């Protein structure tokens, strides 16, 4: 028995450690004293239940390294068959070093390794090995299409030589390039960006001026906001798309309107290649009694003037769900009735489904569904079917009906509205196009 080759560094959480297995995707929280026994190879001293669990989940294994490697190859083949994807993208970290000390950064533990370790950059040998493997994938028919520079901070001024070497390999393979960066040292990359085409930069600010500087903290204590925004402007001038991310906590929640106003005053909101979004962020290394929820963030956006749909589109977690739901429902085009409260009913020409969702998720569904419209007479429901759906709503305790769509030619709307009134149902209507009533 031994510790799995694919066991990653264990993160301490008070008197416990988080054990992560990169092969099987297992995450386990284990008492610190038991982790010390594991590190020392004293497996017989572990509690029997823990030993069985770690063996079952692959964190401990009786297999040799070659047997684990065979498992990895098998899982890779299965993954390809199930998901059928032949597209490969590269996420590359030129260094673990960073010039910022943001309080909520999930990579703070890297600082414990010391500056000598942090200052290392990717060696030429590693770069050659990475791109040799990618060429091999390309020769086997895979579509190798993009490279994302990630970090800590990939675009430090001192990283320019290694970033250039990586970019040269990317250009040779025709890879699209982008980066997730704090944006502070971009001025030093001006000529580099003219030579190498980058599609996108994600850059983060957390508010205007001092609000940002208290959260996006430079290691030397200097302000960061003005320099970051100047470099956003530089990137846009060079034709690079900029996604501005705003990490939001309780401290800066009420500063979002000021930030949007400043971005507008600087002319960014009128730029075709500029967009921004918000993400609730907490300090994972400090216990916080009160944390900002995604719902609080969306509520604040609505309070400062965003519609529900706009707020969800600007909030990173639910905007993805919103787009996925929209895509799915477009495949079944005959959405006719919608009710959203604690319950939701989607009524289609082929049936009705009732589900329970949390209120916030219901709002996400509403945002997606209200964009699905009828496409004329061909999607109209027979009145008998529509009435049955309405009675099903009543029977399931749904008290609110939302009619939506281009219902041109649907002559039974008045009758449905009258029936809703008779049953004491609240109704709302969102219609595009003229209604032909006979």
Q: What is the pLDDT of residues 301-329, one digit of tens each?
A: 989 998 877 888 888 776 766 666 555 55
Give CA–CA dist 184/213, Å, rounded.
12
pLDDT tens per residue across span 94-114? 999 999 999 888 887 777 888
The H-assigned helical ranges of 156-251 are 160-172, 190-195, 210-213, 225-237
- Tell the burial category of 410 from Cβ atoms under 10 Å away from its Cβ (0-12, 13-18, 19+): buried
Q: Using CB atoms within 10 Å of the CB of residue 385, give its burial: 0 to 12 exposed, 13 to 18 middle, 19+ buried.
A: middle
Residues 6+ apart with CB under 8 A from 438: 411
For 29-33, the CB contacts below 8 A with 24+ separation are: 30/54
User: How far is residue 65's CA from residue 71's CA, in Å, rounded to a whole number?
Assistant: 10
Q: Is the pLDDT of residue 438 over 50?
A: no
Pull the structure tokens for residue 24: 């099987």
User: Does the pLDDT at position 266 exceed 70?
Assistant: yes
- What is the rounded CA–CA span in Å between residue 417 and residue 67? 67
CATH fold label, 86-292: TIM Barrel (3.20.20)
Contact 333, 375 (CB under 8 A): yes
Q: How far apart are CA 81 and CA 71, in angstroms?
A: 15
Listed residue (210, 271, 214, 211) closest to 244, CA to CA? 271
Tell me which H or E stretch contains 18.
strand 16-21
Please write the tens of the pLDDT for every residue from 401-430: 666 554 444 567 777 778 878 888 777 665
Going by C-alpha positions, the residue among 280, 282, 320 that lies closest to residue 301 is 280
Global model pTM greater than 0.85? no
- State residue 234's pLDDT score: 97
Name the nearest CA neighbour of 362 among 337, 336, 338, 341: 341
Q: Checking DSSP bridges between strand 16-21 and strand 274-280, what pairing results, if any?
A: unpaired
Rounded to 5 degrees, what are φ and ψ at 352? Answer: -130, 140
C-alpha span between 15 and 236 (Å, rounded) = 48
Q: Judge contact between 200 and 249, C-beta under 8 A.
A: no
Q: How buried is 226 (Cβ within 10 angstroms: 0-12 exposed, 13-18 middle, 19+ buried)?
A: exposed
**In angstroms, rounded to a whole number, what is the distance separating the alpha carbons of residues 406 and 404?**
7
Q: Residue 290 has what pLDDT?
A: 60
Q: What is the pLDDT of residues 128-181, one digit of tens each?
A: 999 999 999 888 888 888 999 998 899 999 999 999 999 999 999 999 999 999
CB-side neighbour CA atoms (13 Å) of 5: 11
As annotated, the residues of the chain forming the CATH 3.20.20.70 domain(s) are: 86-292
- The three-point CA angle 27-32-37 to 5° equals 95
Return the minimum-mean-pLDDT range out of 183-192, 240-249, 375-384.
375-384
Token representation of residue 347: 């009524």
Q: What is the mean pLDDT of residues 333-338?
A: 38
Q: Looking at 194-208, 250-264, 291-305, 367-381, which range is the least confident one? A: 367-381
Cα–Cα distance, 325 to 262 (Å, whole number): 33
Partners of 94 in the β-ladder:
none
Q: How far is CA 421 from CA 111, 352, 429, in A?
A: 65, 21, 14
User: Reading across the β-sheet that carries 426-431, which strands appear in turn?
Assistant: 351-356, 343-348, 337-340, 400-405, 426-431
């Amino acid at each position: 028995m031994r510790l799995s080759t694919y066991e990653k560094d264990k993160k301490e959480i008070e008197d416990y450690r988080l054990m992560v297995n990169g092969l099987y995707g297992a995450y386990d929280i284990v008492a610190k004293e038991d982790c010390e026994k594991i590190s020392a190879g004293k497996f017989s001293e572990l509690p029997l239940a823990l030993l069985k669990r770690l063996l079952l989940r692959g964190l401990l294994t009786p297999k040799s390294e070659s047997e684990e490697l065979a498992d990895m190859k098998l899982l890779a083949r299965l993954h390809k068959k199930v998901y059928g994807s032949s597209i490969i993208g590269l996420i590359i970290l030129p260094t673990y070093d960073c010039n910022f000390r943001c309080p909520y950064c999930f990579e703070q533990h890297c600082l414990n390794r010391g500056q000598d370790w942090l200052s290392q950059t990717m060696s030429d040998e590693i770069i050659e090995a990475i791109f040799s493997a990618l060429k091999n994938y390309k020769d086997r028919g895979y579509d190798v299409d993009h490279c994302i520079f990630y970090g800590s901070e990939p675009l430090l001024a001192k990283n320019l030589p290694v970033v250039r070497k990586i970019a040269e390999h990317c250009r040779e393979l025709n890879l699209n390039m982008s980066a997730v960066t704090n944006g502070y040292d971009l001025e030093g990359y001006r000529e580099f960006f003219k030579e190498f085409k980058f599609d996108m930069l994600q850059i983060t600010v957390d508010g205007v001026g001092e609000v940002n500087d208290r959260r996006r903290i430079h290691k030397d204590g200097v302000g960061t906001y003005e320099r970051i925004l100047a470099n956003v402007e530089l990137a846009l001038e060079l034709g690079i798309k900029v996604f501005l991310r705003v990490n939001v906590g309780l401290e800066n929640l009420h500063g979002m309107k000021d930030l949007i106003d400043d971005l507008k005053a600087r002319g960014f909101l009128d730029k075709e290649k500029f967009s921004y979004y918000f993400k609730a962020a907490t300090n994972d290394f400090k216990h916080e009694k009160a944390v900002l929820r995604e719902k609080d963030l969306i509520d604040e956006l609505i309070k400062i003037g965003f519609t529900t749909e706009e707020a969800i589109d600007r909030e990173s977690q639910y905007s993805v769900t919103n787009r996925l739901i929209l895509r799915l429902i477009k495949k079944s085009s005959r959405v006719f009735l919608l009710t959203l409260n604690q319950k939701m009913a989607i009524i289609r020409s082929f049936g009705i489904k009732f589900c329970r969702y949390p209120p916030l998720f219901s709002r996400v569904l509403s945002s997606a569904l209200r964009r699905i419209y009828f496409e004329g007479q061909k999607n109209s429901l027979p009145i008998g079917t529509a009435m049955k759906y309405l009675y099903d709503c009543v029977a399931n305790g749904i008290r609110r009906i939302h009619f939506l769509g281009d219902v041109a030619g649907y002559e039974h709307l008045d009758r449905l509205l009258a029936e809703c009134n008779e049953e004491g149902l609240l109704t709302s209507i969102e219609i595009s196009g003229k209604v032909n009533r006979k």
